[in-house]
Structure 1
Amino acid sequence: MEKFGKRFQGKVVIVTASTQGIGFSIAERLGFEGASVVISSRKQKNVDEAVKKLSNEGIEVLGLVCHVSNAQERKNLIQKTIQKYGKLDVIVSNAAVSPSPDAILETKESVLDKLWNINVKASILLLQDAAPYLKKGSSVVLISSIAGFSPPALMGMYGVTKTALFGLTKALASEMSPHTRVNCVAPGFVPTHFTDFITKNEHLRRGIESETLLNRLGTTQDMAGAVAYLASDDAAYVTGETLVVAGGMHSRL
């Protein structure tokens, strides 16, 4: 894609949960900008399909199965990346689940564990494995959500896990400085498979659109553009920050 610059020429990027939706668009955008991208998701079929799409667009891509709550698969993701490309410059931690619309006080412990393990803990454990390979000038981007600022009723505990990522961004930015920058993107509502239950309901969709200043839902490309900025050297003096990409929807002062 000629319209993009080449900010990631010679860079190696891992994006988790990247065979569809926001994750796929992030991998695609960084690939268009010259990165070698390593994509992953839980199912081999999804990985194969996404690799084919990206390859057909002229992107250098490696696809691996990785369930982020599986320690061996996380280690494999890092090791295979290093084996093939010899280095690692950027990690985008995008994997998340929202398994239940239940109120927090009615959420089963097993569901609380799943939300915590995938939405928060897996990012930490992945970065523990990756840290030895993240050299000067490297970058981490965590994908949170506008739901982290004020967790909505239907996604209460999901929202709380996304709040945790704002704090994790600050803590890791301090711990991984000065060599690695750590930032966060908080997407607004984007029509993907993940948000089908909201965005396919016409009434809910219109309500959300009316809460934005731009009067539309976001696109996966909107999110990819924000991640590309934070991960690139254009943001060389930005760390510990959360960028809200939500069309002006209320988040914070």
Structure 2
Amino acid sequence: MSAFDRLGYGTYKLEDPEECASGVAHAIETGYRHIDTAQGYDNETDVARGIDRSERNREELFVATKLSTDNLSYDDAVATAKESRERLGVDSIDLLYVHWPINTYDPDETLPALDHLVDEGVINRVGLSNFQPDQLAEATDRLDADVFAHQVECHPLCQQDELRELARENDHWLVAYSPIARNRVADVDVLQEIAAKHETTAAAVSLAWLLSKERVAPIPKAASHDHVEANWAARELTLDADDIDRIDALDREERVVDFEEAPWNQS
């Protein structure tokens, strides 16, 4: 069984080499086994350095990365996945995502490349990221490999009900990036009240809410060691049914990652 853990460690914006390596090493020492990066983060080598500093064997970890939007033709996807494998220092990448279905994304080119990479053993599992429901359905139908995970922004202010339901129905993971909405959750009265009730923070409440959901795996990014440990401690927070109902009832859709070319902004 893989080391995939429902609470992963995100490395977006960990651009300083030492900060990234130190953060990854400390996260692993804290207990994280699922590490998430991307070609576009320019830190795959630093993630590998952090893994090397830890006392864990690579076989005990689950390392995921993503194809950049300029690398989605068949040849580019295959070639750059192999380059990512080398940078990460692994025999096989545990999970490779299509980061965004934009720019060079072409189902006729990208999806066969993913299947080829699985067949070659370059990657173990296929993931998609930021797909709309119709795009997700098309890709799932056309891939020979099972979709292991779909990574999207998800938190109490952007709850992704439809995509979470699809994850349950299709038996893949919804991996939640920006799970505390870059700490915008700290400004939400309901979350503040629930946090006060449990003597914790709104960020911990947000993570615990995600962990209460079936087939959801949050991947908070944190640079400071204190935040890394505080996020990990959220695994011990149990929300009661009333807490969950109150959060479920938040009727807001506020993305922290949004731009004109994003799939949800296309007609």
TM-score by length of 1: 0.41
Larger strand proportion of the pair: 1
TM-score, reference length from structure 2:
0.39
